[in-house]
Structure 1
């Protein structure tokens, strides 16, 4: 999500350019720092180095600005496949040293490990945001019931837990002219199709190239395109909680789609 706290640029004494982010809530910077380090540990996609963090502030390398290219997109696709393949201990597992009470943008996100993807996705990635939207008056009882019925139809999956970025919209993919970098994760163990579905939802430069390279290295299970709406429920509901009615119709349409 785009709204992740106050951000400013600075230069360290040794000349390195950094970004200083102020967390929007207690624990937000710790969760982001743990997520960045976990993604970087896979060694597959460029991730800004975490220099320091405390209760209120996070300091990371600044990514130089550049233009996306087809070659960089293909490298990113292969790197993303490797990142997902690096795995996680369980669905819902937080990064090492990451808090269970985490965030996606300014919305709360619980990282509670589970063995079964379908039940975990319903319980921790769909229904909590339906309840928040209902409590805010964005959804009425009948609309909330639609999501509850949809959750009973989430298909089982044989996919192992993947190491997800968790908030993979276009604004969190930075291009330096040679590579694509990932920032602002809501990292956790999940289904790899969820990251890909979020890129479909919000768009990404050279998306076809990214997906082609990804699938060449890590083929997707049959029917993945029909499951895009299912995996988009999570980001659409988060956006409904954060931004209100403008995303509610899309979330409802995704629920009806399966």
Structure 2
């Protein structure tokens, strides 16, 4: 992107020594920059993603407000075309780091809980908009109305009518299958393994679709595409903040939204997984 080095320098208040291109994701490019003061930073840049960057910056800052030790990087700078974060050097995922992450995620979910589901900013997952309308009526209806129904509309062009009706049945019965009520938690909202960055003896979360939601959602997302040492993470989490009985049975319900997102983004290749999750959610 023309002028990237100069824009980064102006945003962070330091000249930039070098920039390395790391490829692209969705509509943005990714970069690693070295500043004149020796710091290394991660840069996400695009020409027309103001809403996405604003939501990501707001979400990271909000998750970080859950308390000291939250596994969330600081936002160094953000504007309508760029997001700058500290560079997180990669490290192998270890059992000890996994257990620490489980405890820190539990503290994130249970500390400084929000008053409602949703968030006071326009949300995004990847580059698709999320309806973050605040609602204190309860998670089940909020999830059906703000997460499942909008993405079922987006995905239905790639789904046969029977599959659409199956997801609609989940929405109709959601009060009966959502489990015991829980207060809202600060959740990452897109916590697949690619958004867990293992670094220096711990794990940090990046690229959030953050909002007030159900804490089981983040755990279900980690299970969807596989996360290293997941059982250690879950055991440490459950010890620090015990989960409601039957939470494993509700994993497919919480996976329905990300699977609908994947159908909307990538088409019918995710249809079978979506159908399996809907059937499992219904029992």
TM-score by length of 2: 0.85
2:158 match = 138
* Contact 1:45–1:76 under 8 Å retained in 2: no
Structure 2 gaps of 5+ residues are 1-24
Q: Quote the offset at 1:108 in angstroms.
A: 1.6
Asked if 1:52 corresponds to 2:74, the answer is no
Q: State the distance in 2 between where 1:26 and 1:175 align.
A: 28
Partner residue in 2 for 1:148: 168
Q: CA deviation at 1:218?
A: 0.6
CA distance in 2, matches of 1:46, 1:252: 33
For 2:40, which of 17, 38, 52 is the aligned residue? Answer: 17
Q: Which residue of 2 aligns with 1:106?
A: 127
Counterparts of 1:50 and 1:162 in 2: how far apart (Å)? 21
> Is 2:62 the counterpart of 1:38?
yes
Structure 1 residue 238 displacement after superposition: 0.8
Which deviates the most, 150-159 or 226-235? 150-159
Offset at residue 4 of structure 1 (A): 6.6
Of structures 1 and 2, the one with the larger relative CO (CA 8 A, separation 6+) is 1
1:107-256 → structure 2 map (5 Å cutoff) = 107-115=128-136, 116-134=138-156, 137-154=157-174, 155=176, 156=178, 157-256=180-279
1 CA distance for matches of 2:207 and 2:27? 8
Distance 2:102 2:204 in 1: 12
1-side partners of 2:27 and 2:102: how far apart? 25
Q: Distance in 2 between matches of 1:22 and 1:129?
A: 26
Secondary structure of the 1:108 match is strand
Matches of 1:180 and 1:215, distance apart in 2: 17
Equivalent position of 2:108 in the other structure = 83
1:182-241 deviation digits (Å, cap 9, x = unpaired): 111110000000100001111111111100000001111111111011111011111111
Residues paired across the two proteins, number: 250
Aligned structure 1 segments of 4 or more residues deviating by more than 6 angstroms: none
> 1:92: how far off?
1.4
Secondary structure (helix, strand or coil) at the match of 1:166 reads coil
CA RMSD of aligned residues (A): 1.4
Structure 2 CA distance for aligned equivalents of residues 83 and 121 of structure 1:
20
Q: Which residue of 1 aligns with 2:94?
A: 69
Q: Considering only CA atoms, is the larger Rg found in Structure 1 or Structure 2? A: 2
With the length of structure 1 as denominator, give the TM-score of the two structures: 0.93
